[in-house]
Amino acid sequence: KAGVTQTPRYLIKTRGQQVTLSCSPISGHRSVSWYQQTPGQGLQFLFEYFSETQRNKGNFPGRFSGRQFSNSRSEMNVSTLELGDSALYLCASSFQPGIQETQYFGPGTRLLVL
Amino acid sequence: GENVEQHPSTLSVQEGDSAVIKCTYSDSASNYFPWYKQELGKRPQLIIDIRSNVGEKKDQRIAVTLNKTAKHFSLHITETQPEDSAVYFCAAHNTDKLIFGTGTRLQVFP
């Protein structure tokens, strides 16, 4: 089975711009979670999608949003980029949401905001 | 809210020695505890996990122990090798989401 894929892998933007990142889960997986990884904060949960619905959301401002399509692919969007948004954005997929479901990570999208 | 503390933040060991990483969690509803290894520039990879109905689990040189009463869980790596060098993350899954520790950078010196 192909693993989780993310596009693009690298992105450079300037402050104020917006960005859209894409995540394709493992075939058959219907739950997608997004995380922000920074050196100081580790892996911070952004949100989780299942059946095209956001199930949970972390403590991030409304500039961070996402969606999921009927084929389980997910996108996240960050509007009005700030320097502090520079990070590695990881998505992870699992068969379904809930406790004890193993999450498999994609390679991440490294975003640099100048 | 749910919090996972991980110690130490860095760990250096000689090849062949053992390494232990400890985590504590706050939400007693947490029932699933995975450990991920992230090599430089790579994605986090699941190396072992444990569920709340089990106290210990082993997979070759890696073992994880769980003490639900104390809300502690630990990763044990025996006979460490240079390729074990990476950042290790513990995590706890409560009813809502997976919460990660801040990571331990393990360096194994030949």
Q: Locate B49 and state its tokens.
A: 């996990």
Closest-CA distance of chain A to residue B78, Å? 24
Residues of B in contact with A5 (CB under 8 A): none
The pLDDT of residue A99 is 65
Query: Is the pLDDT assigned to residue A1 strictly greater than 80?
Result: no
- Say if residue A61 is preceded by a cis peptide, omega within 30 of 0: no
Q: Locate A83 and state its tokens.
A: 């320097």
At A72-83, the pLDDT tens digits run 999 999 999 999
What gap in Å lies between CA B91 and CA B2, rounded to an integer?
11
What gap in Å lies between CA B65 and CA B59, rounded to an integer?
12
The pLDDT of residue B96 is 78
CA nearest A36 in B: which residue?
Answer: B100
At A12-71, the pLDDT tens digits run 999 999 999 999 999 999 999 999 999 877 899 999 999 999 998 999 999 999 999 999
H/E run at residue A21: strand A19-24
Query: Is the pLDDT assigned to residue A96 strictly greater than 90?
Result: no
Taking a C-beta distance cutoff of 8 angstroms, is the pair A20, A83 a contact?
no
How many percent of chain B have pLDDT more than 70? 99
Taking a C-beta distance cutoff of 8 angstroms, is the pair B5, B101 a contact?
yes
Tell the residue number behind the tokens 């460490």, with chain if given.
B80
- B98/A contact by beta carbon, under 8 A: yes
Residues of A in contact with B10 (CB under 8 A): none
